[in-house]
Structures are given as structure tokens and as C-alpha cells.
Amino acid sequence: MTLRDHQPFVVGALRPAPPASVSVLAYDGVDELDLFGVYSVLAKAQASGAIADVGLFAPGPSVTASGGAEIRTAPLKRFNPGCNVLVVPGGSGAAETAKSNLLSRPVRAAHNRGARIYCCCSGALIVASALKLLDGQLAIHARKKAELKAIFKGEVVDGLIESNGIVSIGGRRSTSVKSVDLAFRILSDLDPDLPGEISRRTEIAWSGTP
């Protein structure tokens, strides 16, 4: 079976589920590795027909990433709150973005419409601030734990964790790239067969337990 033939089934349904719509949020100071690690893997799945679309959205037409890269983005007015998956990467600008509430509206809108939210490292600051989370668990970069604890009353943990419909990763050193691990987790949640297929195409090994 090729990726274009891939038609995941909804449990209890008699027809295939449509390919998922994915939105990725960006902002000034977003980390290039956090952003493109996840975006690149998901874009491979989109190109093969396993994902309907992968959109990159920001408050303006472009952002300046933490390493200085200028990245063109779609404006938030084109953001689809009905997306199935919302990804919030981390970066040196995450704390300021969380305080500014620039991305709070799209995060809340997607969450209220049932999207699964995935955050990489300090992206958890933006999600926790937008949703005003009071409980559950979130993972974040080890150096950002104090900042998260200041706005999040739940448990701050290490590794890859799912809690209350939010998947987060961070807090420990790894031989793999956290954003790539997060992308493969997204694929796995969409359909258990997808990680193996994209792994073979990209020659990226993914064990399922980063």
C-alpha cells in the first residue's frame, strides 16, 4: 500500500476518515529546529496524501526565528480553527509571546473546537497561558520550568507526555530531535501505520518512545 492509498479508519465507523488538517503557529523568536523539525516531517506526509494540509501561521506575514532566519508565514486571519491538529513550537520568544497573548486566540479557538494540541519545549508556555490551565501535566525545556510553574498550576514533568488532550515534550537530553519525535507522535495519533511509512521514506528511525 502506498501513502497515497492510505485511508485511516475511524473506530466504529464504516467509512474512511478524511485526511487531517494541521496548523503550526510561529512567532518572532521561534526556534528553527522546533519549527522545522516537526513541519518537515508533517509536510512529507502531506505531500504523500496522508495529511490534507499543513499550514504555518503567525501574527504577521513573516517572523524572525531565534537563529535569525526570516520565515514567511500565512497571517492569522487565514487560520483555520477547525484544524484537527495544532502545533506550538518553542523558542527564545515563547515567553514574550505568551505574555503578549498574540497567539492566545487561535490556541483557544482550536482547543474549543476539539483540536489536539502538541507543544514542543517552551511552546508549553504559550499553550498554558492561552488556555489558563490549572491542572494536568506539561513538559518543557529544563531551563524554562520555573517560567512554566509561574503560570501553570499543574505538574511540570520531563519527556513526552499527554495530559488533558495536550501532548508536550521537553526537559531531558535525547539522542533524537524532540520536534521530530513530536511529529512522529502526531502521525502515530492520526494513524498507527503512518510513522513506519514516513520513517522508511525519510530514513529516520523512530521507536515510539523518545
Percent of the chain with pLDDT over 70: 91
What is the CATH number for 174? Answer: 3.40.50.880
| Model pLDDT, residue 12 | 37
Rounded to an integer, what distance in angstroms lies between the CA atom of residue 61 and that of residue 105?
17
Whether residue 14 is predicted with pLDDT greater than 70 in this model: the reply is: no
Domain count, the chain: 1
Half-sphere exposure at residue 84, Cβ-oriented, CA atoms within 13 angstroms: 14
Q: 10 Å Cβ neighbour count for 166?
A: 23
- Single-letter code of the amino acid located at 97: T
Percent of the chain with pLDDT over 90: 79
Rounded to an integer, what distance in angstroms lies between the CA atom of residue 73 and that of residue 83?
17
Q: Is residue 12 part of a domain?
A: no
Q: What are the tens digits of pLDDT across the range 37-89?
A: 999 999 999 988 889 999 999 999 999 999 999 999 999 999 999 999 999 99
| Model pLDDT, residue 172 | 87
Q: Is residue 3 part of a domain?
A: no
Q: Is residue 154 part of a domain?
A: yes
Find the largest Cα–Cα distance for the chain. 49
Q: Is residue 205 part of a domain?
A: no
Q: What are the tens digits of pLDDT across the range 90-134?
A: 999 999 999 999 999 999 999 999 999 999 999 999 999 999 998
Q: Is residue 203 part of a domain?
A: no
Taking the model in full, what pTM does it have? Answer: 0.89
Q: Is residue 150 part of a domain?
A: yes
